[in-house]
Amino acid sequence: MVNADSRLQRLAELTSGKITLLTCFYTYCVDPWGCPYAYWTLSGLCDRLIADPQLARLVRFVSVSFDPTNDTPEALRRYGARFMNDSRLEWRFLTAPSVGDLLPLLDGFGQDVQVERDANGRPTRTINHMLKMFLIDPDGMIREIYSLAYLQQPVMLNDMRTLALEERSTAVRTR
């Protein structure tokens, strides 16, 4: 993957070691119940986490673009500027070097994506996908998948708190 600073970064490095909320998106999505809704949800969740600094230190957001052609590192920097520069919560924005590099990742997360076509069969910039967010524990295991029906900040926050309690419990047992 390529981060917003144009550096290569392994996704596995960002999906372990912390409670991670991973989502896929594209910056110019206009479906109000798609990527803009996910961004709004994550923004509000970010604010709630910042209000709980102890939990915020244990959490990372990772947003991966569906469109490496248009969502360049520069576009990701603009899109995520409000959050990438806030040291109170880690939020990483990634793209892939190419569509070919992205496809195995999407397949691995069961993320079906289709580029919409116009009346002449030419691809448009609209990408059809199911909105999903993945809650990943610090060991890299997916613990919850949120779809549009379950994309509720209080539920997601409580799930993160539960994972944090599990981590503390495990740390105490292993001492």
| Residue 84, helix vs strand vs coil | helix
Query: Residue 60 and residue 72: Cα distance in Å, rounded?
Result: 21
Note the pLDDT of residue 175.
52
What is the average per-residue pLDDT within 112-139? 80
Q: Are 154 and 51 in contact (CB under 8 A)?
A: no
Give the pLDDT confidence score for residue 92 in this predicted structure.
Answer: 96
Phi, psi of 111 (to 5 degrees): -100, 100
The residue ranges of every structural domain in the chain are 2-173
Taking only the tens place, the pLDDT of each residue in 147-161 is: 988 899 999 999 999
Looking at 12-16, 66-70, 80-84, 123-127, which range is the least confident one? 123-127
Question: How distant, in Å, are the alpha carbons of 17, 57, 106, 114 from that of 89?
Answer: 14, 7, 25, 32
Q: For residue 59, give both structure tokens.
A: 């959490």
With 70 as the cut, is the pLDDT of residue 171 above it?
no
Alpha helices in the chain (DSSP H): 11-14, 35-50, 53-56, 73-84, 99-108, 153-173
Write the CATH number of the domain with boundaries 2-173: 3.40.30.10
- pLDDT, one tens digit per residue, over 55-67 is 999 999 999 998 8
State the first-to-last Cα distance of the chain, in angstroms, to the nearest integer.
Answer: 36
The pTM assigned to this predicted structure is 0.88
